[in-house]
A and B are shown apart, each in its own frame.
Chain A
Amino acid sequence: MSGDMVITVGEGTCGVAAGAPEITKLLKDRFPQAQFKQVGCIGMCHLEVMVEIATGGKSYLWGGLNKKNLPKVVRFHRGQGDLPESMLIRSSDVTETERSQYLTKQTRIALRNVGQLNPISMEQFRARGGYTAIEKVIKGGMTPEQVIEEVKISSIRGRGGAGFPTAVKWGFARSAQGEPKYLVCNGDEGDPGAFMDRSLLEGDPHTVVEGMLIAAYAIGASKGYAYIRAEYPLALKHFAIALDDARKAGFLGYNILGSNFSFDIKIKEGAGAFVCGEETALLASIEGQRGMPRIRPPFPAIQGVFGKPTIINNVETLANIPWILLNGGAAYAKIGTEKSRGTKVFALAGAIKRGGLVEVPMGMSIRQLLMEIGGGSASGRPLKAVQLGGPSGGCIPESMFDTIIDYDAINATGAIMGSGGMVVTDTKSCMVDLARFFLEFTQIESCGKCTFCRIGTLRMKELLTKICDGHGTLEDIDTLAELADRIKDASLCGLGQTAPNPVLTTLKYFRDEYIAHVTEKRCPGGVCKGLITHTIRQEMCTGCSICDRYCPVNAITGELKKPNTWVIDQKICINCGMCVEVCNPDAILAA
């Protein structure tokens, strides 16, 4: 019965974390004759575990599978039960559901293969047109200058955050003197909240290799490094396999495709330093040193790793390159806005209903992205803001969600496009706490070279902590703004120059929250532990005792099933909020 059945399971990091291996095992027990395939993450992280089952000429894509609801799917495929609609994303018969809109509203160029193929299968990659762009370049006799020209026509800008035109960068390295030249793929995706590089490296590593090949050919590089975070074990594994297979197939090594172009790639595993995303720090790290940035010029394109001309491109940028060469720069430039062409991948997370990876054309509004693709608020509470660009970026308030996705439009708000991390918050969040979170992050990650970044971020963090604890003054808010300006001016690299952004944008758009913390000693979001107390709203309490069972410090006492007997001992309570999480009738007030 299951002889012609093909079961495809999404086994990216998200899928595995959500329990894909267990689901695969259960399905193998139920359908022992079926053929099993694994693919990378299609980006619908909110619907993991995802499984596609093709049988009898029809295919069904199921999402949100777990041990409990899996039997319904199994029964359906055995012809013993109805179609469990709540788990269906799409099928050959039902091509569009509310869930499938998440995919249909996207324009996938960088992510074109992710989730569509087995990441470590050269055969499947070739079947989807893989390595035909580099063949077109080499066998078609394109000169490096023609390659750069094509990329120039596409107007693609670096997707790592700064948005520098890729073709211009390549032009510098092409004309730079010195041998050998290096090409570095920057996969040190350190922005908390961004995971598109992880998805590309683990879900479609060959595309990144092909992008690196084309870039290396264009600038005349013979050596390549892929700098990948140690926190991404699956990406490291898949990329290493892809390199081996590419070597065996003759796409890496000496005289590639019979030409006189030779290029090979080594993996450098990152060791956990956010600042290494900065290009000069990354170079120091490759050389085995502390990852500390240096003054530019000389720019890496002239003097990079081991003193040789070096180009550092982001993973997402490189993933777009083969598509651009195959379809032409003009086709890419048709998408997007005047100054921001093409598509951008965002990692959607936080208080959003449908989180995951989305690739959209530039020019789409933030509201469209959050509402039509993301499905709006997960909790039903109104959305408050979206944090763009991680620790270097800023918060855009709900009132400005009509801002379009475009480098300049987003910069105008005070946030940045950044690498594409998009963390959504609803009314139950505190913007002062969020600013403190980022300052704590940048303060720890500051390499310590520049005084203002080293000490200034610490002072800012202290002030923010003071405000969150309820001891802040109005002068502290002014001091924060002053420090922010000084740090921006007196820091050498992007980390320090942008570190104050989360504070500046929250001060700009959510000043009332700062004021409430300082003058009313109140945290409007109910987050800051020093400013809230937890109490039980007796009229709503059912006496179920679940809060008591979950309380880590046994601060809650009362008689089982007797409302009006339950109290929280404020002397013991640590305001951790676990009781709020678990209370079904929402009877615990944090204010």
Chain B
Amino acid sequence: MSKASLEATVDPEKVQGWITQIGSDTSAAVPLLQAIQSEYGYLPRKAMNLVLENTEINASQLFGVATFYAQFRLDPVGRHMIKVCHGTACHVQGADRLNTSLRHALGIEDEKEDTASNGSYTVENVACIGCCSLAPVMLIDGEAFPNLKGADAQKHLVKHAKTKGEILPGHAGEGDDQPADEKEK
């Protein structure tokens, strides 16, 4: 599968369902966008248009909100999501190295890109997720991996890709398969 096929198919009834459930006045803007994003991983244009047509929220407010908050994104995401924590504790303990090794494994070279060319994984930076004593931390599809070295991140990714049948388009190191933190155990 390529990146172009990552565009989501929007079900208008679902969007209408959220509007009925959450509300259609202007204060519903944030929760509506959250509902859409949690379903599709991003904000598909078609879903945004449905909100505009069926609520009191106008385009200025909706797109203003969608571009203001870090949680929202307008581009499709890969099939799996990696979130690398960049809080202070993670930063001083080398969170950058997680990005370097993950992006190498996924072959993401363009600084502006965050998704592998085959649509397998997206690597996002997130603000502090509050596990500072286990820094550096990353999440793959919501599962947390604590106390990582750069190379461990890559090895967890290789392992994850194997179980999900994903191919990593980049250069995934040549070390053994066991992440260092698991070896110690």
Contact = CB atoms under 8 A, between A and B. Distances in A.
Interface string A189-200: 111111100110
B150 A272 contact: no
Interface string A45-61: 11010000000000000
B13 to A, nearest CB: 23
A574 B70 CA distance: 29
B71 A230 contact: yes
B128 A192 contact: yes
A577 B175 CA distance: 16
B127 interface: yes
Contact of A578 (B30, B64, B149): B149
B132 A552 contact: no
Given A67-B185, A549-B176, A581-B94, A192 B87 contact: yes
B132 A423 contact: yes
Contacts of A582: 149, 151, 180
Q: Which of B68, B70, B86, B135 has the most CB of A within 10 A?
A: B68
Given A552-B171, A552-B173, A581-B97, A271 B130 contact: no
Interface string A106-121: 0000000000000000
Contact of A17 (B134, B151, B185): B134
B126 interface: yes
A230 B34 contact: yes
A329 interface: no
Nearest to A273: B69
Contacts of B72: 271-272
Contacts of B126: 231, 272
A17 B30 contact: no
B36 to A, nearest CB: 12
A437 B90 CA distance: 11
B122 interface: no
B115 interface: no
Q: Which of A18, A189, A271, A447 has the most CB of B within 10 A?
A: A271
Contact of B130 (A189, A429, A434, A554): A189
B146 A350 contact: no
Nearest to A352: B133
Nearest to A577: B97
Interface string B129-160: 11111110100001011100111001000000
What class of interface size applies to chain B in its complex with A? 35 or more
A497 B157 CA distance: 41
B68 A350 contact: no
Interface string B45-76: 00000000000010001001100111110000
Q: Which of B34, B87, B174 has the most CB of A within 10 A?
A: B87
Q: Which of A233, A425, A437 has the most CB of B within 10 A?
A: A437
B91 interface: yes
Contacts, number: 192
A269 B130 contact: no
A13 B143 CA distance: 11
B86 A291 contact: no
Contacts of A18: 134, 146
A355 B90 CA distance: 13
Contacts of B31: 268-269
A551 B150 CA distance: 10
B22 to A, nearest CB: 11
Contacts of B88: 192-193, 349-350, 387, 390, 421, 423, 434, 437-438
Contacts of A441: 127
B16 interface: no
A577 B149 CA distance: 10
Interface in A406-465: 421, 423, 425, 429, 434, 437-438, 441, 447
Given A230-B34, A356-B133, A552-B154, A272 B149 contact: no
Given A271-B33, A288-B61, A289-B61, A232 B149 contact: no
A272 B127 contact: yes
Given A271-B33, A437-B88, A549-B174, A14 B127 contact: no
8 contacts: A13-B129, A193-B89, A232-B129, A355-B132, A423-B132, A438-B88, A552-B104, A552-B173
Given A17-B134, A549-B151, 19 more contacts: A17-B137, A67-B185, A193-B87, A195-B128, A230-B71, A231-B127, A231-B128, A232-B129, A269-B30, A271-B65, A288-B27, A349-B133, A350-B88, A549-B175, A549-B176, A552-B101, A552-B151, A576-B97, A582-B180
